[in-house]
Amino acid sequence: MSGLVIAIDGPAASGKGTLARRLAAHFNLPHLDTGLLYRATACALLDEGLPLGDTAAAVAAARGLSLTDFDDAKLRTREMGEAASVVAADPQVRAALIDMQRNFAARAEGAVLDGRDIGTVICPDAKVKIFVTAGPETRAQRRALELAARGEEADYAGILADVKKRDERDSKRGAAPLSVADDAFVLDTTDLDIDGAFRAALAVVEEKSRGRKTG
Ligand code: CDP
């Protein structure tokens, strides 16, 4: 029997990455932050001085990614989040990244994946789907703290504008737009801290996997 797959989706800076990491540690499952795939693809283009709209180069970069080789500090900047959202709107780039993500999810032990289209496109059969959200102001505040902790300039108004722009682009694109899967549990973390969000998510996983045989 295949392992437990937990699909976590949500808008920019919703806390889905933190939640996915906590769940993966708790259940001893591998975790894939799929946003890094789009960030790394965009980064490869920018490093070569190529425009983000260069589909052929973006597809080649996406196909060449190695899941274990990400420079976190470089990829998690504001600039790269914005650039990632531009390349992520290209259906050919998304197609180039599908197998890598599905193979990760198909590991015998199971997996936790977080992104925008995990429950809708990548793992439509995932046992557990959680859509993590929070108000844009809360998300911008969290992202500002996160960036400040990394030493990046944290201009709240600019970050709030980024978050709103990215939400709009991610939700309105034709290819795998950010949307809530029909069978996803919506977890609004506006008034929850990390522990509160984790406890709520754990309750969802336990509820969904009740009666399920593991093996
Ligand atoms: O951490 P944050 O939520 O700000 O961003 P991320 O998850 O690293 O994703 C960066 C960008 O990649 C998003 O704005 C999306 O446009 C894109 N993305 C996507 O289209 N599909 C995914 N499964 C993951 C990310």
Q: What is d(CA 62, CA 44) in angstroms, rounded to the nearest whole number?
A: 9
- Check pocket membership of 34 for ligand 1, CB cut-off 6 A: yes
> Does 161 have pLDDT greater than 60?
yes
Residues 6+ apart with CB under 8 A from 157: none
Q: What proportion of the chain, given as a percentage, has pLDDT over 70? A: 97
pLDDT classification of 56: cutoffs 50, 70, 90: very high
Of 10, 8, 9, 12, which Cα lies nearest the Cα of 137? 12
Of 114, 113, 87, which Cα lies nearest the Cα of 13? 114
Closest ligand 1 atom, CA of 114? 23
Nearest CA to ligand 1 atom 23: 115
> Does 70 have pLDDT greater than 70?
yes
pLDDT in tens, 28-37: 999 999 999 9
Among the ranges given (82-96, 118-132, 138-152), the one the predictor scored with the smallest mean pLDDT: 138-152
Do 118 and 23 touch, CB atoms closer than 8 A? no
Q: For 123-127, which contacts have Cβ atoms below 8 Å and span 24 or more sequence positions? A: 123/5, 123/7, 124/181, 125/5, 126/5, 126/6, 126/7, 127/4, 127/5, 127/6, 127/208, 127/209, 127/212
214 CA distance to ligand 1 middle (Å)? 31
Q: What proportion of the chain, given as a percentage, has pLDDT over 90? A: 83
Mean of the per-residue pLDDT values for the chain?
Answer: 93
Nearest CA to ligand 1 atom 6: 35
- pLDDT at site 68: 78
Do 26 and 202 touch, CB atoms closer than 8 A? yes
CA angle 186, 188, 191 (to 5 degrees): 160
Sheet holding 4-9, edge to edge: 31-33, 110-115, 4-9, 128-133, 185-188
- Check pocket membership of 167 for ligand 1, CB cut-off 6 A: no
Of 67, 44, 75, 69, which Cα lies nearest the Cα of 57? 44
Q: What is d(CA 129, CA 177) in angstroms, rounded to the nearest whole number?
A: 16
213 CA distance to ligand 1 middle (Å)? 33
> Does 71 have pLDDT greater than 50?
yes
Q: According to the 3-state scheme, what is the secondary structure of 118-185? A: HHHHHCCCCCEEEEEECCHHHHHHHHHHHHHHCCCCCCHHHHHHHHHHHHHHHHHCCCCCCCCCCCCE
> Does 215 have pLDDT greater than 50?
no
Mean pLDDT of 173-197: 93
109 CA distance to ligand 1 middle (Å)? 25
Q: How much is the pTM?
A: 0.93
Can you read off the two tokens belonging to residue 37?
């795939």
- pLDDT at site 211: 53
pLDDT in tens, 100-137: 999 999 999 999 999 999 999 999 999 999 999 999 99
> Does 2 have pLDDT greater than 80?
no
